[in-house]
């Protein structure tokens, strides 16, 4: 079904992800576990390639950043130190008619986003009207209607920020009522009181159930980095500024987990904690904001797909924080967070553990607890961003249609498909000879079934950048046709050239060099 609306588009991306082995609902045969997903044969490759691109750009490209892989179980005392046991909450509210549960902050943010969308619409209309001479800044600061919308947004944000900072849940509910926000299902304003809900999953270590044996599944990977800060600094003889990177699973008992893999209960993060001299954190915060945006832009998606968004309310640890937002089919949403965390975490770990978490700075000849700037991105969200940006429904010149995943070639699950034209005359044998040659360097696949046109479509649908067709001429002169996924152009080349072409076109280093 063609995507006429963004809603259709999102539905089609979800069904495409399943149909082509990217993402399956977890425990599907038992009716599924809500907000938990499994990655299929193509999904696992794409996910691995994104993770690897991130890892290389952080660890391999910086001689002052190293990686670790810490445990998923977190002891309760170190989550107490990090503030998670007491403050890792989301405000929830139920609609009494639909019995649906919502995050109160998200209801308000979505309301603000709707007003913001009206501003964008006005601005776009004016841009078309005025053409080249349009001055957006001036328009936003002088057009009465836009100014009125903006004042509304500012007033809501100020009130909401104050309520959150004072942890005043009665006021949060009052804001929802005053804004006349209705439940999208029941359409009513019949809301319960707003309550705080802790998002962490816990379990017991060993057989005795007492408070000290409660452990948590980590809600973020960062704390595993903090508690290993001195281990890495000492054994790696690291000098400040330096970073520690980590990728791995995190777990949150999300109140509202819709929107496919955007918000999951079990997900993967890619985080980097950068330890700096106190007083230099603002500089590094700006540095990492720019660096991370460059990383996103290196994928070649349109520039207006990403934007920065400063946090209204800072988390319990943060000194400054912003998000890199991506325009998903359901609107601009957080993809990555960049946080200036001060010395909050290390200072608390020092206090709770009684062990000094300090660094001796030889240049200053003094000890201090370093400040931290963190970059934190969800791997699954990045996956969804790439899927939603790459998924294209195309009408071809001959009137037929195809779905093509325009995944950046270096991230594509399969780099090349080898397709013998027929299942006879020695063509499959020749194809498997080529497979054996390429398999050491690339993930390649070989397919014999169905017409060549159908096989091309299947490869387009999983984003394979190149297809090689083996035909009778191949047996005579050792040449094949290579077909480009995006242009569909075909070229006859010598088999000996294939490796070089693939290496040039799908090499991750080309992307890394642009960073
Ligand atoms: P949100 O406001 O969307 O709940 P957050 O601000 O709580 O996100 P962080 O704690 O900053 O998120 O986590 C860093 C990154 O981890 C996010 O930018 C996001 O990409 C990812 N992430 C967080 N929660 C989830 C989740 N439930 N499912 C998938 N990815 C997540």
Per-residue pLDDT reduced to its tens digit, 180-195: 999 999 999 999 999 9
> Does residue 454 share a domain with residue 494?
yes
Q: Strands of 318-431 (E only): list them.
A: 320-328, 331-342, 359-361, 366-368, 371-378, 391-395, 401-405, 416-420
- Whether the CB of 341 sits within 6 Å of ligand 1: no
**What pLDDT, on the 0 to 100 scale, is given for residue 323?**
95
pLDDT, tens digit (0-9, with 9 covering 90-100), for 122-145: 999 999 998 888 898 899 999 999
Q: Which residues contact 513 (CB under 8 A, 6 or more apart)?
A: none
> Does residue 234 share a domain with residue 144?
no
- Structural domains counted in the chain: 3
The arithmetic mean of pLDDT across residues 351-368, rounded, is 94
> Does residue 113 share a domain with residue 33?
no
Find the 167 Cα to ligand 1 centroid distance in Å: 21
Structure tokens at 49: 């390639």
**What pLDDT, on the 0 to 100 scale, is given for residue 170?**
95
Find the 378 Cα to ligand 1 centroid distance in Å: 6
Give the H/E segment covering residue 101: strand 101-103
Q: Report how far apart, in Å, the C-alpha atoms of 393 and of each of 151, 447, 455 are.
A: 40, 23, 17
Residue 205: pLDDT band (50, 70, 90) is confident
Cis peptide before 418 (omega within 30 of 0): no
> Does residue 388 share a domain with residue 421?
no
> Does residue 248 share a domain with residue 189?
no
Residue 81: pLDDT band (50, 70, 90) is confident
Find the 170 Cα to ligand 1 centroid distance in Å: 26
Residue 213: pLDDT band (50, 70, 90) is confident
- Whether the CB of 267 sits within 6 Å of ligand 1: yes
CB atoms within 10 A of CB 386: 23
Residue with CA closest to ligand 1 atom 22: 378
pLDDT, tens digit (0-9, with 9 covering 90-100), for 376-426: 999 999 999 999 999 999 998 888 899 999 999 999 999 999 999 999 899
Determine the residue of 263, 386, 387 to mutate for testing ligand 1's pocket, defined as the one with the most ligand atoms within 8 A of the Cβ atom. 263
The last residue of one of the domains, among 153, 179, 198, is 198
**What pLDDT, on the 0 to 100 scale, is given for residue 26?**
92
Is the pLDDT reported for residue 212 higher than 70?
Answer: no
465 or 303, which is more confident: 465
**156 in Cβ contact with 141 (< 8 Å):** no
The last residue of one of the domains, among 178, 198, 218, is 198
pLDDT, tens digit (0-9, with 9 covering 90-100), for 22-73: 999 999 899 888 899 999 999 999 999 999 999 999 999 999 999 999 999 9
CA gap 24, 403 in Å, rounded: 19
Mean pLDDT of all residues in the chain? 93
Is the pLDDT reported for residue 286 higher than 90?
Answer: yes
The arithmetic mean of pLDDT across residues 270-299, rounded, is 97
> Does residue 491 share a domain with residue 437?
yes
Nearest to 88, CA basis, from 191, 225, 218, 246: 218
> Does residue 498 share a domain with residue 420?
yes
The last residue of one of the domains, among 356, 382, 406, is 406
Global pTM value: 0.88
The DSSP 8-state label assigned to residue 415 in this structure reads S
Residue with CA closest to ligand 1 atom 10: 220
Range of the domain at 497: 409-512
């Amino acid at each position: 079904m063609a995507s006429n609306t963004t809603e259709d588009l999102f539905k089609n991306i979800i069904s495409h992800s399943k149909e082509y082995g990217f993402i399956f609902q977890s425990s599907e045969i038992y009716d599924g576990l809500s907000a938990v997903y499994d990655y299929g044969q193509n999904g696992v490759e794409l996910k691995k390639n994104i993770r690897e691109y991130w890892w290389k750009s952080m660890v391999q490209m910086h001689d002052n950043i190293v990686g670790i892989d810490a445990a998923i179980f977190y002891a309760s005392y170190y989550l107490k130190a990090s503030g998670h046991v007491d403050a890792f909450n989301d405000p929830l509210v139920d609609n009494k008619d639909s019995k649906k549960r919502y995050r109160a902050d998200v209801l308000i943010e979505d309301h603000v986003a709707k007003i913001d969308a009206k501003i964008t619409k006005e601005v776009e209309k004016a841009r078309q009207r005025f053409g080249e001479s349009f001055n957006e800044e001036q328009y936003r600061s002088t057009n009465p209607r836009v100014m009125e919308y903006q004042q509304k947004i500012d007033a809501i944000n100020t009130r909401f920020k104050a309520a959150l900072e004072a942890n005043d849940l009665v006021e949060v509910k009052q804001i929802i009522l005053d804004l006349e926000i209705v439940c999208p299902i029941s359409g009513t304003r019949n809301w319960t009181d707003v309550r705080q809900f802790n998002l962490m999953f816990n379990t017991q270590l060993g057989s005795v159930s007492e408070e000290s044996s409660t452990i948590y599944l980590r809600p973020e990977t960062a704390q595993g980095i903090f508690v290993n800060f001195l281990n890495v600094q000492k054994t790696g003889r690291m000098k400040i500024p330096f970073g520690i990177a980590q990728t791995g699973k995190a777990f949150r008992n999300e109140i509202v987990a819709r929107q496919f893999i955007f918000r999951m209960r079990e997900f993967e993060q890619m985080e980097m904690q950068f330890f700096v001299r106190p007083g230099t954190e603002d500089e590094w915060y700006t540095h990492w904001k720019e660096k991370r945006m460059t990383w996103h832009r290196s994928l070649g998606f349109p520039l207006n797909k990403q934007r920065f968004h400063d946090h209204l309310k800072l988390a319990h640890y943060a000194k400054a924080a912003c998000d890199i937002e991506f325009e998903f089919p359901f609107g601009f949403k957080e993809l990555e967070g960049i946080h200036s965390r001060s010395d909050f975490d290390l200072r608390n770990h020092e206090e709770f553990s009684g062990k000094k978490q300090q660094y001796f700075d030889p240049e200053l000849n003094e000890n201090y607890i370093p400040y931290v700037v963190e970059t934190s991105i969800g791997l699954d969200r990045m996956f969804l961003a790439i899927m939603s940006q790459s998924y294209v429904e195309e009408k071809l010149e001959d009137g037929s249609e195809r779905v093509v995943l325009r995944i950046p070639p270096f991230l594509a699950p399969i780099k090349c498909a080898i397709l013998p034209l027929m299942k006879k005359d020695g063509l499959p044998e020749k194809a498997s000879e080529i497979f054996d040659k390429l398999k050491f360097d690339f993930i390649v696949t070989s397919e014999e079934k169905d017409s060549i046109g159908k096989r091309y479509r299947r490869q387009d649908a999983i984003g394979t950048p190149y297809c090689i067709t083996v035909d009778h001429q191949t047996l005579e002169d050792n040449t094949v046709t290579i077909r480009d996924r995006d242009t569909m152009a075909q070229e006859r080349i010598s088999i000996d050239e294939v490796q070089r072409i693939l290496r040039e076109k799908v090499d991750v280093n080309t992307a890394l060099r642009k960073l």
